[in-house]
Amino acid sequence: MIAARRAVKNSDLLYKLPCPDPCLHAKKRYTVNTLSFSKRVSMARIYMVRHGRAAAGFSEDADPGLDEIGHQQAIEAAQKLNSVLPVAIISSPLKRALETAKPLEDICGIAAVIENRVAEVPSTGLSLSERGPWLQKVMQGYWSEQSTELRSWQDNMANCLLDLPSDTAIFSHFIAINALVAVALGKDQISVCRPDNGSITIFDNSRQKLDLIKLGSAAETKVN
């Protein structure tokens, strides 16, 4: 618990923190741009949670929080993850992911490490009205056709998961989960699954590669 409160350095991040005494509540979030290790010694089961339903869509608000249903989905995801504790907690910096992580933070008494590499798919330079049509086109395509920015985003996110040394819950986004499933399955298609809000997709990195263990529940859903 004490380690979770001190200034975090890339070299001493404690990814796996046991759930401490729930009476201890002095929590602080840390923003981490890159988490890299000179030598991989990773053996982690990774629980990738798609955030709960957002209060606004991808083309309506750059950073919405959750709506009422989304908050309930966050609680249900935390209850499911309760059976695999202890885990470290990592989140995208966006509100909908952070709010989805909060019930698990409360159970564990620790704060999520904010990791920019598991944030939403980058749409640099696009207005809100342009983002929806752009994303629909991207989702119909292939990674090999995408910009250097998007391919680097996918690579960096996969490396983030490969570097995790212990079991971790990550709160992220629809396209991010698709990007990682594509890496694990060796697929070039961008849209390879439809993770529902609050669903949990499970990966493993113990073989020094990203393996898909189980897809989360799927739904016909818009990106939000």
Task: Kindly indicate the confidence band of residue 180, based on its pLDDT and cuts at 50, 70 and 90.
Answer: very high
8 Å CB contact between 76 and 198: yes
The reply to whether CATH 3.40.50.720 applies to domain 28-214 is: no
From 21-30, 70-79, 146-155, 187-196, the region with the lowest mean pLDDT: 21-30
pLDDT at 11 over 50: no
Residue 43's pLDDT is what? 86
Q: How far is CA 78 from CA 4, 101, 107, in A?
A: 20, 8, 8
Type of residue found at 178: N
**What's the rounded mean pLDDT across residues 87-115?**
98
Mean pLDDT of 48-63: 93
Confidence of residue 41 (pLDDT cuts 50, 70, 90): low
* Residue boundaries of the structural domains of the chain: 28-214
| pLDDT for position 59 | 84
**CA atoms of 174 and 213, how far apart (whole Å):** 18
